Amino acid sequence: MERTIISLDYAIKHILRDKANFDILSGFLTELLGREVTVQEILESEGNAEGLQGKVNRLDLKAKIDGGELAIFEFQFLDKIDFLGKVLFNACKAVVEQVSKGKYYDIRKVYSINVAYFDLGAQKEYVFYAGLTDFCGIHFDEKIPFSQNINPVFPANSIHPAYYLIFPDKFDEQIRSKFDEWVYVLKKSAVRSDFTAAGIQSAGEKLNFMKMTRTEQLEYEATVELEASRKTEFYTAEVKGKLKGKIEGLAEGEAIGLEKGKIEGLAEGEAIGFEKGLEDTVVKAFRKGHAIDNIADFTDLPEEQVIQILKKYGLILS
């Protein structure tokens, strides 16, 4: 028997910030990291842009866990060409924010947990890990741990960020480990009664869709609908962009010109299609009553850009 629950990505963004629900996040991290983990607090998950052109660090969640270590979460549903760049940026920012001017570089471990619902080239694997634990000698077989021990209370473990990439859509639903039960939840938004992973039955209870108020259910359904609409519009823009690129490429005629035309046409078409699809998503979401900050969160755009698009279509006054 399995219980349908609200999607874990929605819960992480909107529900699991409550201390009463930390057992769910703790259980997820315990099974992923292979050791008992306790979430102590949820930290601010969105950095401030530095100037009008500054990068906005839109993390879905940033948690402080036992030992002062940090876990940062990022969910991405649509293909994002610079996704791994954003993964690196978020991890580096979580490191930099630990150090105050004039203080020691007392760095605590950052665990970067990234869930992607699009293809990044994986064939069969659905959970990937990347980390740097030591420096290796080039000429001789020697190693120096990438660690420090400024504060003797904490063990001198590796301080370089550890990265996890999780692809729920690649999961074949064969349970090979306790963490696979959590991957099942990420894919199916359901908890089976036979699951025993840490925190997972608590997730089934606390995230049960049927236990939500009608207002909460409507808000959740609206969010899912907007995400689905956004995904469809972006896919349509991508297809149109590729078609335009192919047509313009074919017009070149000669072999070299043909290849160059395809590449240039594809790039131009994708850019135009992507921009139009993004604007349509913003406009439709605003007309459905979604707030500007929510639209910015879903489209990964700065609020100022969302406002400019709405002004362009005459939906808000200058």
Residue 312: enclosing H or E segment and its boundaries? helix 303-312
Candidate ranges 42-51, 98-107, 207-216; pick with highest mean pLDDT: 98-107
Strands 110-116, 70-76: pairing is: parallel
- Residues 67-95 have a mean pLDDT of 88
Q: Which domain holds residue 183?
A: 2-211
The pLDDT of residue 125 is 97
pLDDT tens column, 220-243:
667 666 666 665 655 566 667 766
pLDDT tens column, 101-116:
677 888 899 999 999 9
Q: How far, in Å, CA of 296 to CA of 316, rounded?
A: 16
What pTM value is reported for the model? 0.67
Write the CA distances from 238 to 9, 117, 274, integer angstroms: 25, 17, 6
Lookup result for tokens 């608590």:
202
238 lies in the same domain as 121: no
Instruction: Work out the percent of the chain whose per-residue pLDDT is above 90.
Output: 35
* Amino acid of residue 221: E
Whether residue 260 has pLDDT greater than 70? no
Whether residue 257 has pLDDT greater than 60? no
Q: What DSSP designation does 21 have?
A: G
Alpha helices by DSSP H, listed for 100-212, are: 178-188, 200-206
Q: Which of residues 156, 186, 211 is at a domain's end? A: 211
Structure tokens at 104: 């020691």
The pLDDT of residue 56 is 45
Residue 116: enclosing H or E segment and its boundaries? strand 110-116
160 lies in the same domain as 236: no
The pLDDT of residue 50 is 41
177 lies in the same domain as 236: no
Lookup result for tokens 């606390």:
206
Whether residue 194 has pLDDT greater than 90? yes
Q: Which of residues 167, 187, 211 is at a domain's end? A: 211
| 143 falls within a domain | yes
Q: Which of residues 148, 181, 211 is at a domain's end? A: 211
The pLDDT of residue 262 is 56
198 lies in the same domain as 234: no
Q: What is the mean pLDDT of the chain?
A: 80
| 202 falls within a domain | yes
21 lies in the same domain as 87: yes
| 158 falls within a domain | yes
| 106 falls within a domain | yes
238 lies in the same domain as 108: no
| 235 falls within a domain | yes
230 lies in the same domain as 172: no
47 lies in the same domain as 124: yes
Q: How far, in Å, CA of 40 to CA of 80, rounded?
A: 31
| 317 falls within a domain | no
131 lies in the same domain as 222: no
pLDDT tens column, 1-35:
787 888 888 888 777 888 888 999 999 999 999 99
Q: Of 79-93, 113-127, 144-158, 277-291, which range is least confident?
A: 144-158
What DSSP line would sit under 186-255, residue for residue?
Answer: HHHSEEETT--STTHHHHHHHTBGGGS-HHHHHHHHHHHHHHHHHHHHHHHHHHHHHHHHHHHHHTT-SH
Instruction: Work out the percent of the chain whose per-residue pLDDT is above 70.
Output: 71
For 72-106, letters b (16+ CB in 10 Å) and e give bbbbbbbeeeebeebbeebbebbbeeeeeeeeeee
| 318 falls within a domain | no
Query: Who wins on pLDDT, 134 or 128?
Result: 128
Q: How far, in Å, CA of 203 to CA of 16, rounded?
A: 10
pLDDT tens column, 51-70:
333 444 456 889 999 888 99
103 lies in the same domain as 244: no
SS3 label, residue 132:
coil
Query: Who wins on pLDDT, 177 or 210?
Result: 177
pLDDT tens column, 34-44:
999 999 998 86
181 lies in the same domain as 271: no
Number of domains into which the chain is organized: 2
